[in-house]
Amino acid sequence: MSMLSTDLKIDHAADHIADRLAAHLRQGCAALAPVSSWEPFERRLHRHAGDLAEALSALYGDREDFMAVLERSVRTAWQGWQQRAPEWRRLDEQRDTEPTWFTDQRMVGAVCYADLWAGGLQGVRGRIPELKRLGVTYLHIMPPFRCPEGNSDGGYAVSSYRQTNPALGTIEDLRSLALELRRHDISLCLDFIFNHTSDEHEWAQQAAGGVAPFKDYYLIYPDRTVPDQVDCTVREIFPDQHPGAFTQLADGRWVWTTFNSFQWDLNYANPLVFDAMAGELLFIANLGTEILRMDAVAFVWKRIGTTCENLPQAHQLIRAYNALCRIAAPSLLFKSEAIVHPDEVMRYIDPKECQLSYNPLQMALLWNSLATREVNLLQLALAERHRLPQATTWVNYVRCHDDIGWTFADEDAARLGIQGYDHRQFLNRFYVNRFPGSFARGVPFQDNPATGDCRISGTCASLCGLEQGDHWAVDRILLLHGVALSSGGIPLIYLGDEVGMPNDYGYRHNPDKAGDSRWVHRPARDDALYAQVDTAGNVHHRIRTGLQRMIDVRRDTPALAGTELTIFYTHNPHVLGFLRGEGAQRVLVLANFAEHPQSVSAPTFSAGPARTSDLLSGQSISLNDGLELTPYALMWLRYPG
């Protein structure tokens, strides 16, 4: 690390930097008026310039022009701040007074493709009442930006961060949707797809033509020398799409493409890329985005000879963007999308990095427990890998738009006598219905016979047995969601799952989608199925009302806020137990992962109350003789401690 960052450990040095940056900015921008907007900016600049300078110096501190890099980023922040609408500045002030608002138990997330779920951005707006009824307070809309026609990886190949995909609506539709959501107390979450752009992005086009400065925005090599070196040390993410991490251009050169061949990785070693993307970030923030989903964080920094995943500089890069946002769009939160080893997932979670993170471990282990009917791995993860720093939280999901990958730690599995590799093979067989007695109807994703790697696609309903007509499917769906709703963090529901939408195999007939089985679990909203929810007695009604009950109870149960949790050992391998909250408010969650009744013995409850009641069913329960749980039972018991 450079001298500068060491110096910055001293507070007055940071102040000095902020003064210097502010002075430069004042000189550079003759028209800093209105003064009313300069003051809060300068205040925040003073508070966060040290963090910004420290992170940037870790990335670019060795450069002679480092001070210019720093100044440029502050200038970009200032431009972003100037363009921030009054509504969002008001929200900035408000959130200053309630910095942990997002850890509240009233938070419920939902995610959808605007077109598939609602026919477009205006359609989503029309469905706000439905979201409100469900209890949603956070809506992630899948990337709505301009992208290539045909295959765009579901919008994850962005051709312009400042224009929308016309099929969804206009940028004004997006702005007004954000405002309307805010009026209904729903926070809009959008992606920041910053590892790569599409090959149709103007920068990429210019880069391909060798035009400065864009030719250094990406990682393009004249021959296979570097690509061959890199391919020896990096993982293949989409091996079905292309082997290795590079794609050959028409002129014979090779461009770094970690994901699809049309997704060109950006070159963050170039500070111009940092700055250009900072501008795009603030544009997205100023649309009214309250939560920014930091896409593919693990991959953003490359160093030849390494795995190019989770490098220290990836963290510094996010810290620099975080500091920039504290200055220019302070109410914005970052959500980390790191689907990697659980130790690495944890490292992105920090108020100065990402305040929120997907919880891929819990997600994978929920499915693991459903397959094995044993809670051992899930319990270990909750006991040892659930605690987070202050002012951060999990996003707990049952499944998302991506595949399910078995990203548990082999070390954890080994402690329980489970061999990671073999166990993953079993899980894959189980979820694609190639294991005797399996209830799941999943589809393999990126099945790689060379490495034995494979992930799973499928909707929650189809993976839980609904498609197969399994008797316990509804109970499984509610069980998984019930744990995600109670274990601590923001639950995130994939819209369609709340009514039990099954797999949609139609993608196989669409050449743009056929090669990507994740489309099987991205069905378009089926209005006929949604209509069944209003009639009692059918499975969709049971799913929807069961979920609603849990969301409603959760909202009124402060013990379920935050992420603090204590394991409650049930001494039954099929029954998960954990305690939430404290004192008179405390709640005991019990979840039976087997399709047979299970009992928890009386001595297990000896330190607790003799009688309790289940918040979900409203029933009063005696614990004197232990407890019998019906198949797949989920209970939220009052358990004052």
Would you name the residues annotated as active-site residues?
295, 337
Q: Supply 164's token pair.
A: 């929308």
545 contacts 571 by C-beta, under 8 angstroms: no
Q: Report the C-alpha gap between 612 and 569 in whole angstroms.
A: 18
Q: Report the C-alpha gap between 250 and 128 in whole angstroms.
A: 46
169 contacts 114 by C-beta, under 8 angstroms: yes
Alpha helical stretches, state H, 432-538:
460-464, 473-486, 527-532
52 contacts 67 by C-beta, under 8 angstroms: no
Q: Which residues contact 88 (CB under 8 A, 6 or more apart)?
A: 285, 286, 288, 329, 331
β-strand partners of 622: 611
Cis omega (within 30 of 0) for bond into 389: no
Distances (CA, A) of 25 to 77, 320, 636: 11, 19, 56
Alpha helical stretches, state H, 11-65:
11-28, 35-60
Q: Supply 423's token pair.
A: 């166990």
Distances (CA, A) of 5 to 2, 57, 70, 87, 321: 6, 6, 13, 36, 17
Cis omega (within 30 of 0) for bond into 330: no
Tell me phi and psi for residue 520, to 5 degrees.
Answer: -65, -30
Which amino acid, one-letter code, is at 79?
Answer: Q
Q: Which residue is nearest to ligand GLC (CB)?
A: 156
Q: Quick one: 155 or 169, whose CB is closer to ligand GLC?
A: 155
- Among 436, 85, 427, 75, smallest CA distance to 274 is for 75
CA count, 13 A, side-chain hemisphere, 641: 15
DSSP state of 523: P
Q: Residue 172 Cβ, how far from ligand GLC at the closest point, in Å?
A: 26
Q: Residue 270 Cβ, how far from ligand GLC at the closest point, in Å?
A: 20
Q: Residue 402 Cβ, how far from ligand GLC at the closest point, in Å?
A: 5
Residues that bind ligand GLC (CB under 6 A): 153-154, 156, 193, 237, 259, 295-296, 337, 339-340, 401-403, 405
Distances (CA, A) of 6 to 9, 57, 59, 68: 6, 10, 14, 19
Tell me phi and psi for residue 189, to 5 degrees.
Answer: -115, 125
Q: Quick one: 130 or 231, whose CB is closer to ligand GLC?
A: 231
